[in-house]
Homo-oligomer: A and B are copies of this chain.
């Protein structure tokens, strides 16, 4: 993981947001290479999900929408984590990540310890308890420290548990629900009716526009609406680089089906489609898994959810969630807006509110998975090299063009010709600096699949040296063959 983060920073894939001001926790910026990689992932998804499927329409709804949407969806009422504030330090903690225990010596409670969730928290708590015992000069046997999280605390214990910020008890509040949506104020009114939210998911923008698309398009059941865009959640503990951040991007699709349809079959089809797609952008099938949510853990509106997981460096984690949401969302919007969400199905000659299957993928997570899968270290001729084995579809640069020597005008001219020609269609790298071997290494490290060198043979017979990133093999190829190869590999 550290090598990936270091390479991301060194080669301009990903920077921490506001780095010159010491950074801003939970936010990231994508540099010249990161922005290309991210764009290519989004483009590939859009092409396969929207352009190449006749049953799916695209959409781009606003980030700030009417707050009524978030009331209807249940986010205003329920999208929250239990939080606890320290009144002294103004720090805020997730109650289920703040652990505590009474310190008991020979049956007497002499105080409380608290720790933040961590692999070493048990050891830290025991050490702290031991110090407390010594400091108070208490003799006797310390009972085993049994940590519980703050949501399990008895109300009488709140004022006894020390704040992790100050180490002193008395400043922690009871746990209370803290909404994860970012709030803001919109418009010409100065009171609370101006409250609005940054969307915590793109899905509701789709449900809110479902009726517009049914009314203006020529869709028929089953059909889908797809959207790519930013979403925001005020996560208290953003972590694992870009895996869990506060500002992120989603690619979501809502697939509307008849209430009578075989939803389990449809669910399975989408899980398979999504897995195939991940493989098509370069994730190895053996790094993917499936996590079927047990029935008792499903949200109240869900009939079934399966996560496609990926083996990240920090463990196997959710990458793409495919949820069967029933007709919960559309029914809620029908009730709250008073507008009918029913659709007339020509085939069955019946009217109904459709059910949905929702594949929801985070762009940033996908990008991290792609970086993880691509990162490779190998040895070429006794020399270590780092390379990013990006699938050609998503590689930031598709091909690099090198004139063998920059002080030979005829090589430069020929190479510029090719460069300009390829640029019409592809993102192409131009490099004239240093030995060809060093130029290859630079391209390996940013994952450019092919390098083309214009050399003296080019002037004779019109062929170039084509060098492959993964195998490092070189072969002669002419312009027509090169164009045909790129066309075949990249579309």
Contacts and interface: CB of A to CB of B under 8 A. Distances in A.
Contacts of A187: 25-26, 92, 234, 236, 246
A30 interface: yes
B182 A186 contact: yes
A82 B243 CA distance: 42
Interface stretch (A5-13, A137-145, A464-472): A5-13
A197 to B, nearest CB: 9
Interface stretch (A50-58, A104-112, A354-362, A403-411): A50-58
Contacts of A182: 64, 184-186
A230 B57 CA distance: 22
A402 to B, nearest CB: 14
Given A59-B30, A62-B247, A184 B198 contact: yes
Contacts of A217: 12, 31-32
A191 B66 contact: no
Interface string A240-284: 000000110000000000000000000000000000000000000
B230 A186 contact: no
Contact of A205 (B29, B93, B184): B29
A208 interface: yes
A104 to B, nearest CB: 31
Contact of A15 (B10, B186, B212): B212
B423 A32 contact: no
Interface residues of A, number: 86
Number of copies: 2
Interface in A12-63: 12, 15, 17-32, 34-36, 38-39, 46, 51-52, 54, 57-63
Contacts of A336: 21
Interface of A: 9-12, 15, 17-32, 34-36, 38-39, 46, 51-52, 54, 57-66, 68-69, 85, 90-93, 182-191, 193, 198, 205, 208-209, 211-213, 216-218, 230, 232, 234, 236, 246-247, 333, 336-337, 339, 423-425, 427-428, 430, 433, 491
Given A17-B65, A28-B62, A85-B190, 6 more contacts: A20-B333, A38-B60, A54-B430, A64-B232, A93-B188, A187-B246
